[in-house]
Structure 1
Amino acid sequence: MPASLPPVLIVAHGQPSDPAPAAADLSRMAAQVASLLPGQAVAAATLAEPEALGHAIARLGQNGLLFPLFMAGGWFTRTHLPARLTAAGAQGWQVLEPLGCLPTLHDLAVQILAKTRQTHPGPVVLAAHGSFKSSAPSDIAQHLATKISTALGCEVIPAFIDQTPQLADLPALGPDAVCLPYFAASGGHVTTDIPAALGKSGFKGTLLPALGLHREIPAMIAAAIRNPTPVCTQDCRYKRG
């Protein structure tokens, strides 16, 4: 392999309660990305599989690029992943900005909702994970909500699973509302937690597929790898205020 083409490892959180399906989905995603990066080794690992990251590093070698399939920067990208790389004996590896921080992903969200609102012109709910420990996940969700609202001239409500305002506490929004899950994969949060929370709130609108499941994502990741941006080690650039 040419020296100019470093190995790539795509890392996701995975599903701790049932790691295998999420790991298989991520491997399929990595294969799609690899097809767009001829001559470049691309592998996958979830953090839910205790040994997966170390085994992948052992196969790929040194001086690679780690792409986090996460929806926000923060402790995981700035601290946890570098520590895991060190523990795995990785040398010269660079952690890139995660999927959720790519401006192209935010543009895709606007495009999806612009099309959806042709038939569902009500308010938009941006369903995100959130965190009671860090503002980074809500900062980026608020940034995207503002971008969508400005671009489309509609009401956008960020609501969360793991912080307030919670999805279960949404007000009545009517049948023309839509909910876009700001998630990278189809795990338990997307298939179970979000529908359950929306049900508690009395949501009567349309639940869209998670943003990270759209067909444009592999090409977006490949483009980010061709032009790598190191993860921000300071406050997230999407930080409010």
Structure 2
Amino acid sequence: MTRSALIVAHGQPSDPAPAAAEIAFLAAKVQSLMPDWHVRAATLADPAALPAATAGRAQGLVYPLFMAGGWFTRTHLPERLATAGATGWRVLDPFGIDPAVQSLAVTVARDAAARLHRSPQDTTVLLAAHGSFRSPAPAAVAADVAHLLRAAGFARVEPAFIDQSPRIAEVAATLPAGSLVLPFFAARGGHVTDDLPAALAEAGFDGHLLPPLGLDPRVPGLIRAALRAAALRPPS
């Protein structure tokens, strides 16, 4: 029997098409690595996407392309699946809390420093994340990744946020020239294309803005590994 997997992202209600296309492209990459699976994508911003992606398949694995857990993954997403009639689908842990994804953040920062002919000990990193004024979960995940970066020897690591304190502009204004900004985001949405550059410009930031972590070419392989591992585990 062919296994099914669905990669789900928030999407962008004000402009749903670009986000939907980006996650569909990611799902196609994962599908190419898993020819024995049926891998599709959906965004929560499109009310028709979940029913369409799960139609005709009684069960499968749902991979939330979110950076943290919380209400969306524990409550809202299961409710949306139930409404779509996809009650046999199992929601996995989100992208951002996967230890392999968090380790990738360290690798990406190390690679960026090496391209600048620096060691981690000579490099400051601003970990730019979404954050939330309603839940501590996003900040806790960012703190975990910042801890890994510090343990890897980076000279200074500062998490900062779009949607809570400390704000990105506040922290970026305190960083030395040539610092790295690693966007701890799963995709290239408005926060990455608009809010983050605006905050860095406000701070007069003179450094290097990296692509969002979720666009790293190693990500499809990490999602494949997570799906295959989850398929071997019985539902909790």
Q: TM (normalized to structure 2)?
A: 0.92
Cα pair 1:122 1:174 within 8 Å, conserved: no
In structure 2, the partner of 1:85 is 81
Cα pair 1:10 1:69 within 8 Å, conserved: yes
Instruction: Report matched runs for 1:53-202 at 5 Å.
Output: 53-59=50-56, 61-118=57-114, 119=116, 121-170=122-171, 171-202=173-204
Q: Structure 1, unaligned stretches of length 5 or more?
A: 234-241
1:44 aligned partner, one-letter code: A
1:122, distance to aligned residue in structure 2 (A): 3.1
Cα pair 1:114 1:152 within 8 Å, conserved: no
1:168, distance to aligned residue in structure 2 (A): 1.6
Cα pair 2:182 2:211 within 8 Å, conserved: yes
In structure 2, the partner of 1:226 is 228
In structure 2, the partner of 1:239 is none
Q: Which runs of 4+ in 1 moved over 6 A?
A: none
Q: Which structure is higher in strand share?
A: 2
Q: Give the counterpart of 1:23 among 12, 20, 25.
A: 20
SS of the aligned residue for 1:126 comes to: strand
Higher mean C-alpha deviation, range 124-133 or range 41-50: 41-50
Cα pair 2:125 2:154 within 8 Å, conserved: no
SS of the aligned residue for 1:114 comes to: helix
Q: TM (normalized to structure 1)?
A: 0.90
Give the Cα separation in 2 of the matches to 1:117 and 1:219. Answer: 23
Give the Cα separation in 2 of the matches to 1:179 and 1:153. Answer: 13
SS of the aligned residue for 1:7 comes to: strand
Give the Cα separation in 2 of the matches to 1:90 and 1:215. Answer: 30
Quote the RMSD (CA, aligned, Å): 1.5
Q: Structure 2, unaligned stretches of length 5 or more?
A: none
Cα pair 2:123 2:154 within 8 Å, conserved: no
Deviations 1:167-209 (A, max 9, x none): 0212331222010000000111111100001111221111000
Q: Which structure is higher in helix share?
A: 2
1:100 aligned partner, one-letter code: G
1:217 aligned partner, one-letter code: V
Confirm or deny that 1:13 pairs with 2:10.
Answer: yes
Cα pair 1:72 1:136 within 8 Å, conserved: yes
Give the Cα separation in 2 of the matches to 1:181 and 1:72. Answer: 14
Give the Cα separation in 1 of the matches to 2:153 and 2:108. Answer: 11
Give the Cα separation in 1 of the matches to 2:224 and 2:68. Answer: 18
Cα pair 1:13 1:46 within 8 Å, conserved: yes
1:15 aligned partner, one-letter code: Q
